[in-house]
Amino acid sequence: MRNSISDFIGNTPSYIFLFLLASTAIIIGIEWDISWHETIGRDKLLSPPHVVVYIGGIICGLTCAYMALRQTFVDENLYNRYVVFWGFKAPFACWVCIWGAIAMLTSAPFDDWWHNAYGLDVQIISPPHLVLAAGIFANLMGSLFLLIAEKNLAKGKQKHFLELLYMYAASLIIVQFAILLTESSFHNKQHTYEFYKYSLILYSFLIIAFRVVGEHKYSATIISILFILHRCIIIWVLPLFKAEPLLGPIYRDIDHYVAPYFPVLLVAPALAIDLIHNKFRQPNRIINAVMMGSSFCIIFFLVQWHFAEFLLSEYARNWFFAGDNTFPYWVRVNENNYKFWFLDFTPYGQKAEMEKVTVHNFGFLIIFTIMFSYLGSFFGGWIKKVKR
């Protein structure tokens, strides 16, 4: 078994592992950075989490630049296929990653200036963070494109090994979007219409797109398991390190890193998508979207609705679920910490009522999920053809 694994690794281009390493570093750095803000407060431009993120982006950018320069000036037939851009030749994914690396490095001084001009971010989604998120997404998608191209050109057992790497790369993209949904996905908000609307739109699009590309019988399920496992490892590891707030006001006695919220249970609707794709798939893409979208919406809603109740109960207040270790130092300790919230605050401090899930708007959730399931299948069908 060891020899076969070493053979798989040896037959896989080294730049594939560089991209996966860089993508993993970027995601871990972002999760660490959010916990840093929730635990310590204000950070500097070259804080440890930022450095990890930037190193990941630099690795992607430099690797792609090397590949382009080598194929352009040394060996035109170095890689199987390539795309010409401004006279330079490289795989399509390289150009995506180079743009992503530039966007990520551009966001760094922009974010530092933003903090100096306006103070701390009151939301994860700010102009500098959107530039950073776009750059990260480009790097993650570039890594995915490379794997899809290699997988499409591979044969035999090597193809199966690349399929595993593909599923891991796909899971990192889902992690990124879970991070972007953080402010709508706190356990206390998981009975609101907004949580289900944003979650169903994004997760259904991604899971179905990756299911279309995947060739493993249960690729959607495995991708969702890898997503959950990644988030759980962060939840279990971060609180092991000591840290304390350095910026007031401080309302909680915190002496270690705050954990992110426990991930949504995507594995349940993902398994349904796999079963439908394997046994009931139709030639008509609209019919597939209706079956997959409605199943995804109903299963995700039923599972997550009851799981959210568990996460707010005393049974989740332990190291595994971290139900009592997700609150930042600036959140007051009160009776609402373990209740569902239907009242939020805007960045300007104004109260905003959140919509509850009703029979009427649940119909809209199903419609939205079907629409984005169709778009996801269309997008998946497009990227599945990448070969250069």
Query: pLDDT (tens digit, 9 = 90+) per residue, 20-63?
Result: 999 999 999 999 988 988 898 877 777 888 889 989 989 988 88
Residue bearing the bigger pLDDT, 82 or 250: 250
Structural domains in the chain (count):
2
Are 193 and 324 in the same domain? yes
Are 108 and 44 in the same domain? yes
Are 144 and 245 in the same domain? no
pLDDT confidence of residue 79: 63
Is the model's pLDDT at 243 over the cut of 50?
yes
pLDDT confidence of residue 149: 84
Structural domain including 102 reads 1-180
Confidence of residue 4 (pLDDT cuts 50, 70, 90): low
Contact 49, 29 (CB under 8 A): yes
Neighbours of 95 (CB within 10 A): 21
Highest mean pLDDT out of 115-124, 279-288, 346-355, 369-378: 369-378
pLDDT confidence of residue 115: 67
**Which residue, of 121, 155, 180, is where some domain finishes?**
180
Determine which of 71-75, 159-163, 276-280, 309-313 has the lowest per-residue pLDDT on average.
Answer: 71-75
Residue bearing the bigger pLDDT, 147 or 347: 147
Per cent of the chain over pLDDT 70 is 90
Q: Which amino acid is at 136?
A: I
Confidence of residue 110 (pLDDT cuts 50, 70, 90): confident
Confidence of residue 1 (pLDDT cuts 50, 70, 90): very low
Contact 377, 285 (CB under 8 A): yes
SS (H, E, C) 104-144: HHHHHHHHHHHHHHHCCCCCCCCHHHHHHHHHHHHHHHHHH
**Which residue, of 150, 180, 210, is where some domain finishes?**
180
pLDDT confidence of residue 302: 97
Are 167 and 246 in the same domain? no
H or E stretch at 19: helix 14-39
pLDDT confidence of residue 316: 94
Confidence of residue 9 (pLDDT cuts 50, 70, 90): low
Half-sphere exposure of 86 (CA within 13 A, CB side): 3
Are 119 and 174 in the same domain? yes
Is the model's pLDDT at 2 over the cut of 60?
no
Mean per-residue pLDDT of the chain: 86
Is the model's pLDDT at 264 over the cut of 90?
yes
Is the model's pLDDT at 119 over the cut of 80?
no
Task: Average the pLDDT over 232-257 and give the result.
Answer: 90
Hey, what's the torsion of the CAs at 360, 203, 183, 240, to 10 degrees? Answer: 140
**Residues 345-366 as b or e (16 or more Cβ within 10 Å = b):** eeeeeeeeebeebeeeeeeebb
Are 201 and 162 in the same domain? no
Instruction: Tell whether omega for the bond before 249 is within 30 degrees of 0, i.e. cis.
Output: yes
Determine which of 276-280, 290-294, 363-367 has the lowest per-residue pLDDT on average.
Answer: 276-280
Are 143 and 234 in the same domain? no
Are 85 and 219 in the same domain? no
**Which residue, of 180, 205, 224, is where some domain finishes?**
180
Confidence of residue 118 (pLDDT cuts 50, 70, 90): low
Are 114 and 222 in the same domain? no
pLDDT confidence of residue 3: 46
Max CA separation in the chain (angstroms): 67
Please, which residues bridge with residue 51 across strands?
none
Are 164 and 228 in the same domain? no
Task: Average the pLDDT over 114-126 and give the result.
Answer: 65
Tell me the chain's radius of gyration from C-alpha atoms: 22
- Model pLDDT for residues 175-222, shown as the tens digit of each residue: 999 998 988 899 999 999 999 999 999 999 999 999 999 989 999 999
Highest mean pLDDT out of 15-19, 66-70, 296-300: 296-300
Q: 3-class SS at 335?
A: helix
Are 292 and 255 in the same domain? yes
Are 236 and 124 in the same domain? no
Q: Which amino acid is at 334?
A: N
